Structure 1
Amino acid sequence: MLANQGLLGIAFFEATASIILLVLFLLFRRDNHSSYFRFWLGGWWCFTFSSFCELALLIRQLPGLNLASILGKAAALILFLISVVHCSVGSERRFLSAVPLFGLILAAVYYIERRGPRQVASLHWETSIFETVICLLAGWVMWRSQMARRSHGAQLLAGIFLLSGLHGLDRPLWLANPLFLLRVAFDHFLGVALGIAMVVVVLESARTRGEELNDKMRRLTLLTAASTQTLSIQEVINQVLSHLVKSLGATHGIVRLKEGEGSSAQLVARASVGFDQSYLTRYAKLSATQPWAQHVLKEECQFLESREEWDPAALKRVEEAGLKTLVTLPLPGKKEPLGVIAVGSTRLGRFQPDELSYLVNIANLLGLTLQNVNLFEQVTAVQRQWEYTFDSIGDPILVHDRAGRILRSNHRLSQLLGRQGSALVGRSVTELLPVQNAGYKSCPYCEGIAGEGDDPDPWLPGYFLASNSTFADPSGLQLGTVHVNDWI
């Protein structure tokens, strides 16, 4: 029989709960790529290792198990603190420069505890104070963070850290306390509660991410609908860019369209958000032959993560704008990219995978929309040119279908009849040319009642010789007749 079944039961509870939470964290890791969660997962590995070392120590007194348990918990608390700082600040700051300090702290804990008693929950004052300070600092940082104001999980995590720190103030005196088992059990309960609080934080974060994704999809739907209601390229670009920057929580965005071909091709700024006018004036046009531009136009995406990958000129422009994060993508066209779109932020951070997918979808949508709007503009220009040519003809022209409904008339005919041309389309010929002036059934010019040039025209002032030309669709089906009245 073991001397103390109570401590063994407490340690077994913490070890089993730790391994269950570790499995949960590993499952969460598939969808959560945040830096704070990476540090927390590493800390929980250390915490679980410490729990199993403590459980093994209670089963068999092997040398080094107590020291391994203490060092494991110390390492876990350090990683928890780093995770809390990342979670609170919301940045991707690197802590590599602090690694020697953390190693020095663990070495100091090893030096202090290496000759200590092999008793569970027995620590020197120095180690106890260190763990208390770490817990209180982590709780204070989390409690004052913006995340704690909107997340119940963050509030719970901060409260548990603070309570754990206060509870461990007198840890070296626990052995002499009549409530020793209760103090140890409560300490282990707080350790497991830390993991449960982080589970709540992750679940709340996933819910928030889902709501943000739904909002992005709603914005994407609105952009798709808006793009079908305008024929202006500039209007489309402005709408898409403003919605995109806002939905991603970014601070800057710019769209550059490619103009010209070959070595003279340039990327011209057509819309921007967040950039001042002086910056846009200096960099209104950039050569499409620059290394960064060629890289973007040939690749799918370019990130500002490794500064060594950017050429000095591009890096200088990014630094002038004060950007810490930047993603640049091509706007796909039918044969080649139409330009590039860049979204960035002055805050240090990283776009999440779903945000990058959303950005890629928006870039594809914008490229497709630009092609469609450009095609519509070309069609509109051709149609307008045809209308100008049609209206510039000096002879009155009338076009009607087989049923005698007016399809088109030129400006000269409207002038002679004293009516607006747009008001004639869709009306019948009998409404335009009163039957009482000359008896006919459908069209006087088709039936030879008028337009022979021998007598004055019953409706137009003067003598007119009408030429009648039928038109048909590609299958040969007659659609109507064109009458050109030549004044003689």
Structure 2
Amino acid sequence: MNAILASHWMILGDMTVPRLMAQESAALIILAASLLVFRTFRERYLLIWILGWLAYFISRWTLHGSFDPDSLPRYLTAISHAEFILAVCLFAAAVFVYTNSRAFLLPLLLITLCIIAYAATRAMLWPDSVTLRVALETSYRLIAFIASIQLIRFRWARWEIGAWLLSFSLLLLHLTWAPITAHLPPGFSLMGSVLLGLSMLLVIFDDHRLRTRRLAVINALTTAITRAQQHGPMMATALEELKELMQASAAWIRLLEDDKMVIAQQIGLSQDYLRERGAVQLDDTLEHVLREGTAKVMKTSALPEHIQPYLKGERFHHIVLVPILGKKSPIGTLALGSRHHLSYTPEEIEFLTTSAHQLGLAIENLRLVEQILRSQRQWTNTFDSIHDFVLVHDSEFRVIKANHAILQRLERAPADVVGNLCEAVLPRNYGQWSGCPYCHGNDEGFYEGTDPCFGGYSMISTSSYMEQGSKQKGTIHVVRDTTDRRIAEEKYRLLFEQVQEGVFVATPEGKLLDCNDAFLRMLGHTSREDLMALNVDTELYASSEQRELFRREVELHNYVRNFEVTLRRKDGTLLTAMESSFATRNAQGKIERYQGFLLDITEKKRAEDEIRRRNRELNALNAMAVIATQSFDLDEILNLTLRQVMSLLGAETGSIYLSDSDEKTFRRRAGWGQRSTERARFSEVKFSEGFGDLVTRSRTEVITAEYLPHLPPLVAEFIRADGLLSWIWVLLWGKDGPIGIMGISSRDNREYTSNDENLLVAIGRQLSTTIEKVRLYEETCRAYEDLRRTQEQLLQSEKMSAIGQLIAGVAHELNNPLTAILGYAQLLESEGLGQRAADFVGKLFKQAQRTHRVVQNLLSFARQRTPEKQQVDVRKVLQETLGLRDYDLRVNNIKLEPEFDPDLPAVTADPHQLEQVFLNVINNAVDAMLEVGKGGSLKVRLYSKDGDVFAEFQDSGPGIKEPHKIFDPFYTTKDVGKGTGLGLSICYGIVKEHGGDITARNVEGGGALIEIRLPSTSHIAVPEIVPQPPPREFAIEGRILLAEDEEAVLEFERDRRRRSGGHINECGRGARAAARRSV
């Protein structure tokens, strides 16, 4: 019966509860293990993981139940797929929670719901759709892949097997699908499930191991802090532990010092980084971390640009900045630098924050301990470094403490003194005492007198104290040896009383506290009480501005050195003193008194002023002497001298007048300062009566107000023309009389001293000598210039004479063939030629006559003759002169535009000199027009006006650069070798000798105009009538002797005489001589 029931029960169990396969059993075992682990490690991600395993188990159990897989209902397939998708998403959620990627949870939830609904719908409606199945497989594998990547990124570079194994196992999860599972080896799914479960357990165990290590580090830090006596080694230990635990490349601690963050300890940083970033300003990044009080992970690329190069030099991927908090405020930062990508859990960040806080408290405590020890050492060193004797005893006069100075004086060790009675330790060589030699009735304060132990004088400072927490009372004696000071005070007292400089002590309010006898004598007082009653600021100092300047200097520098002051004596006179004083201030820095010395420098000041005045005078005289020797420019010398005199004597205006050659007219050559209208009226003045008999007879050099009644009225008016209160004039005497006068004046009513007058006399004499020297130099220069000009004119005359001889020779040589040409032309005219030939012969004869006239003009121009004035027709002379340049004018395309007055009067002049003047002017006009190009026009005009004859020459050239210099000797604008600059100068002299005038100017529109004016004779010039020779008869009887050196002329005369019927006898040069002898 029982067997039957049991068999039925088994059948019923098999029908209701599916059997567990190996994969479902493994999943159930791992689920149970996870629950056991969760009891110990209650992690949130582990709870999510357990729920995922539960869903995974249900998915597998549903799929591999008692039903036949081939005939599995669609709804079970939908449930299995939905549970599997839920399991994968829960696994991914656990990973996201573990990696602190909580931002993925909400998107994961939405995606999970969508994929679950999609999986169930596909299994129910389209179970055989391959496309939809592929989409399902891709979706959950994508979620598993993202979770794996996030896990690997989170635990990157930590090399923990659990995280890597879990990432790999997540990728092995899959649904049962024949196209995929058919190619997998048997047991692959079981192995994947086991690895997935074990990997999560390994992750939990890795976290537990890290927690254990963090606790060990905390324990090591606590041990190091407990044992450390200095914060340096303690920080080094902490950095080493944290660096190893956090797998960092470097670790360092910066402590806040003023407004800088200074690296106090480091591990792993390079020397370059320490040198460049050892101490940095508190920037925004550090301020933010210190202000927030939380750790911050910062990538190198996200930091400010000025920090990135240093971190990149250390190859840091990121740094972790943790604030180090003290008891009240942040004291620094802990930094961990890593060269790899690392992620940090909240536990790790919290651990770093806790460790940094613990370090901060330890650093502060160690600093306080070091400060206490340093203060104790400083107090001990200060106590022993005091040169005064310091003795501390209790109420029973037992020595508690003695400093090194008193121990050295007693020649005892501290153990021999401390704890013993004062009577047993201190000597009694200089007096009897009991208890303590320095206690005087147990009064606190100062006592100065003889030292009962060591002799001499001493100042004793006594004070009492009560030990904290005890009623024991102690006394402290500070004994200072004042023997040397008493001796020095006596010396200084004698010095204060006997020193010749005035010594004083005064308050800032002006009350005199103390002074010596020299100060009394200096100010003319005999009673110290009377002087002490005076106010220094208002009654002793003559200048309030000076006193105020003294106050500012002392307030700024706390002293003055050689400060010049002006004081008032008792009798009211002023003295100049040199003050050197300093200020004494109270604890608040306020000036309590002035102390110093006064040295009377009144006489010294007067002597220095006299020396400076003498130096200025000597410098002025030297400057005038130098300019007189270096320059011959009289205006420069006069202006410099006048400026020196005005500067020396403080004048406002000044003038220097020099006499002309008549010694009566004076012209202003130099002037400075404001000039009145009256003085402007005297730019040139003539003293017809001179300077008066008194001044002339006595050769007075300085004219002051006392001379005014003895001066001529014009001279007096001249002197007082400036209208100023004070003035003085100096006569500049030459050998024969006054050559100039120099005067200065001022608005101030000043009285010139005898020293001033002597200075002016010296300057006037030197200036007179200089003026005569310059005038002599100028006369010498003029004489030399006249000599040079004469030499040039002589050379030009010789040159023109040679040119004239050459022209005469050439013209003479041309004259003979021209004579033959003219003769033959006349013979041809009488031959009865045809009309055309006769016309050609006439033109030939006309041009030959023209050539003959040119030659005759050249001969006339070159002929040497003595200037002889006669009545001249200017028109004829000008026409002949133009004929000389007619060829050049035509060749150079210069148009001649003559305009001659027909009723032109004659002038009395030398025609050849006029020809020279006209020719020179025409030549200059032609040269000027050729400078700017070929061609132009020359207008020549002759007319009479007001009894004078005017000749104008106007060219179309560039004009004259300096018309006022054109008639100066040797002035030329031509290139070197093209002109001497004497032509127009000679013309100017010729015209002036004829009583005329020559001027030059530029005309509007371009060109220059030369105008020559000559006085006329008021008679109309009558043209010269050339008498015509009477016609010669051709019939000649008798013999004719022809004598001629020129062969052409001889032949022409022979032919002409033969036509007239005469018998010709020819002879050569010797025959001509014989003929002359026979005649």
The 3 A distance-change label for structure 1 pair 476 and 45 is: closer
Whether the 8 Å CA contact 1:46–1:75 is kept in 2: the answer is yes
Instruction: Summarize deviations over 1:266-288 as a string: whole Å, max 9, x none.
Output: 32223222121112223233331
Whether the 8 Å CA contact 1:406–1:424 is kept in 2: the answer is no
Q: What is the alpha-carbon distance in structure 1 between the residues aligned to residue 312 and residue 331 of structure 2?
A: 26
The 3 A distance-change label for structure 1 pair 240 and 210 is: closer
C-alpha displacement of 1:296: 0.5
* Equivalent position amino acid for 2:60 in 1: S
C-alpha displacement of 1:200: 4.8
Question: Equivalent residue of 1:447, what SS?
Answer: coil
The 3 A distance-change label for structure 1 pair 257 and 455 is: closer
5 Å-filtered alignment, 1:415-454, equals: 415-421=408-414, 423=415, 427-429=418-420, 434=424, 447-448=435-436
**Hey, what does 1:220 align to over in structure 2?**
221
Whether the 8 Å CA contact 1:253–1:341 is kept in 2: the answer is yes
The 3 A distance-change label for structure 1 pair 205 and 173 is: closer
Question: Equivalent residue of 1:394, what SS?
Answer: coil
C-alpha displacement of 1:3: 12
* Equivalent position amino acid for 1:273 in 2: I
Q: Determine whether 1:8 maps to 2:6.
A: no
**Hey, what does 1:273 align to over in structure 2?**
267
5 Å-filtered alignment, 1:138-177, equals: 172=182
Question: Equivalent residue of 2:20, what SS?
Answer: helix
Cα root mean square deviation, aligned: 5.9
The 3 A distance-change label for structure 1 pair 327 and 464 is: same
| Bigger share in helix | 1
**Hey, what does 1:165 align to over in structure 2?**
none
**Hey, what does 2:210 align to over in structure 1?**
209
More displaced 10-residue stretch of structure 1: 71-80 or 205-214 = 71-80
Whether the 8 Å CA contact 1:25–1:41 is kept in 2: the answer is no
C-alpha displacement of 1:328: 1.0
The 3 A distance-change label for structure 1 pair 200 and 403 is: farther
Q: What is the alpha-carbon distance in structure 2 between the residues aligned to residue 309 and residue 38 of structure 1?
A: 36
C-alpha displacement of 1:146: 6.4
Whether the 8 Å CA contact 2:299–2:317 is kept in 1: the answer is no
Q: Determine whether 1:368 maps to 2:361.
A: yes
C-alpha displacement of 1:411: 1.4
* Equivalent position amino acid for 1:303 in 2: K
5 Å-filtered alignment, 1:304-323, equals: 304=297, 310-314=303-307, 317-323=310-316
C-alpha displacement of 1:51: 1.6
Q: What is the alpha-carbon distance in structure 1 between the residues aligned to residue 249 and residue 205 of structure 2?
A: 25
Q: What is the alpha-carbon distance in structure 1 between the residues aligned to residue 37 and residue 438 of structure 2?
A: 90
Out of 48, 61, 72, the residue aligned to residue 72 of structure 2 is 61
Q: What is the alpha-carbon distance in structure 1 between the residues aligned to residue 300 and residue 58 of structure 2?
A: 38
Q: Determine whether 1:257 maps to 2:266.
A: no
Q: What is the alpha-carbon distance in structure 2 between the residues aligned to residue 217 and residue 387 of structure 1?
A: 38
**Hey, what does 1:303 align to over in structure 2?**
296
The 3 A distance-change label for structure 1 pair 336 and 79 is: closer
Whether the 8 Å CA contact 1:257–1:270 is kept in 2: the answer is yes
After TM superposition, the score normalised by the length of structure 2 is 0.31
Q: What is the alpha-carbon distance in structure 2 between the residues aligned to residue 318 and residue 446 of structure 1?
A: 76
* Equivalent position amino acid for 1:299 in 2: E
Q: How many residues align?
A: 413
Whether the 8 Å CA contact 1:14–1:51 is kept in 2: the answer is no
Q: Determine whether 1:31 maps to 2:43.
A: yes
C-alpha displacement of 1:190: 4.7
Question: Equivalent residue of 1:331, what SS?
Answer: strand
The 3 A distance-change label for structure 1 pair 62 and 17 is: farther
Whether the 8 Å CA contact 1:258–1:339 is kept in 2: the answer is yes
C-alpha displacement of 1:299: 0.9
C-alpha displacement of 1:412: 0.9
The 3 A distance-change label for structure 1 pair 402 and 361 is: farther
Question: Equivalent residue of 2:287, what SS?
Answer: helix
The 3 A distance-change label for structure 1 pair 406 and 61 is: farther
Instruction: Summarize deviations over 1:112-168 as a string: whole Å, max 9, x none.
Output: x96499xxxxxxxxx9xxx9xx9xxx9xx9xxx9656xx9x999x999x99xxxxxx
C-alpha displacement of 1:354: 3.8
The 3 A distance-change label for structure 1 pair 275 and 298 is: same
C-alpha displacement of 1:415: 0.9
**Hey, what does 1:241 align to over in structure 2?**
239
The 3 A distance-change label for structure 1 pair 27 and 416 is: same
Question: Equivalent residue of 1:341, what SS?
Answer: strand
Q: What is the alpha-carbon distance in structure 1 between the residues aligned to residue 86 and residue 311 of structure 2?
A: 38
Question: Equivalent residue of 1:256, what SS?
Answer: strand
**Hey, what does 1:332 align to over in structure 2?**
325
Q: What is the alpha-carbon distance in structure 1 between the residues aligned to residue 390 and residue 426 of structure 2?
A: 22
Q: What is the alpha-carbon distance in structure 2 between the residues aligned to residue 435 and residue 420 of structure 1?
A: 11
**Hey, what does 1:397 align to over in structure 2?**
390
5 Å-filtered alignment, 1:76-225, equals: 115=128, 172=182, 190=191, 193-194=194-195, 197-198=198-199, 200-202=201-203, 204-225=205-226
Q: What is the alpha-carbon distance in structure 2 between the residues aligned to residue 63 and residue 481 of structure 1?
A: 106
Structure 1: stretches of 5+ with no match in the other structure: 100-106, 118-126, 163-169, 175-182, 439-443
Instruction: Summarize deviations over 1:76-131 as a string: whole Å, max 9, x none.
Output: 899999x99xx9xx9x9xx9xxx9xxxxxxx9xx9xx96499xxxxxxxxx9xxx9
The 3 A distance-change label for structure 1 pair 42 and 451 is: closer
Whether the 8 Å CA contact 2:26–2:194 is kept in 1: the answer is no
Q: What is the alpha-carbon distance in structure 2 between the residues aligned to residue 476 and residue 27 of structure 1?
A: 60
The 3 A distance-change label for structure 1 pair 71 and 236 is: same
* Equivalent position amino acid for 1:253 in 2: A
The 3 A distance-change label for structure 1 pair 221 and 14 is: closer
Question: Equivalent residue of 1:343, what SS?
Answer: strand
Whether the 8 Å CA contact 2:389–2:479 is kept in 1: the answer is yes
Question: Equivalent residue of 1:304, what SS?
Answer: strand
The 3 A distance-change label for structure 1 pair 188 and 390 is: closer
Q: What is the alpha-carbon distance in structure 2 between the residues aligned to residue 359 and residue 50 of structure 1?
A: 43
Whether the 8 Å CA contact 1:255–1:340 is kept in 2: the answer is yes
Q: What is the alpha-carbon distance in structure 1 between the residues aligned to residue 232 and residue 188 of structure 2?
A: 63
After TM superposition, the score normalised by the length of structure 1 is 0.61
Question: Equivalent residue of 1:10, what SS?
Answer: coil
Q: Determine whether 1:348 maps to 2:355.
A: no
Q: What is the alpha-carbon distance in structure 1 between the residues aligned to residue 331 and residue 25 of structure 2?
A: 62
Whether the 8 Å CA contact 2:18–2:66 is kept in 1: the answer is no
Q: What is the alpha-carbon distance in structure 2 between the residues aligned to residue 48 and residue 307 of structure 1?
A: 46
C-alpha displacement of 1:356: 2.8
* Equivalent position amino acid for 2:315 in 1: G
Question: Equivalent residue of 1:51, what SS?
Answer: helix
Instruction: Summarize deviations over 1:287-346 as a string: whole Å, max 9, x none.
Output: 3132x2221121122432678975455556544433345321222245542222212322
**Hey, what does 2:466 align to over in structure 1?**
472
Question: Equivalent residue of 2:214, what SS?
Answer: helix
C-alpha displacement of 1:375: 3.8
The 3 A distance-change label for structure 1 pair 393 and 295 is: closer
Whether the 8 Å CA contact 2:30–2:197 is kept in 1: the answer is no
C-alpha displacement of 1:429: 1.1
Out of 389, 406, 410, the residue aligned to residue 403 of structure 2 is 410
The 3 A distance-change label for structure 1 pair 323 and 394 is: closer
Question: Equivalent residue of 1:211, what SS?
Answer: helix
Whether the 8 Å CA contact 1:67–1:114 is kept in 2: the answer is no
Whether the 8 Å CA contact 2:19–2:65 is kept in 1: the answer is no
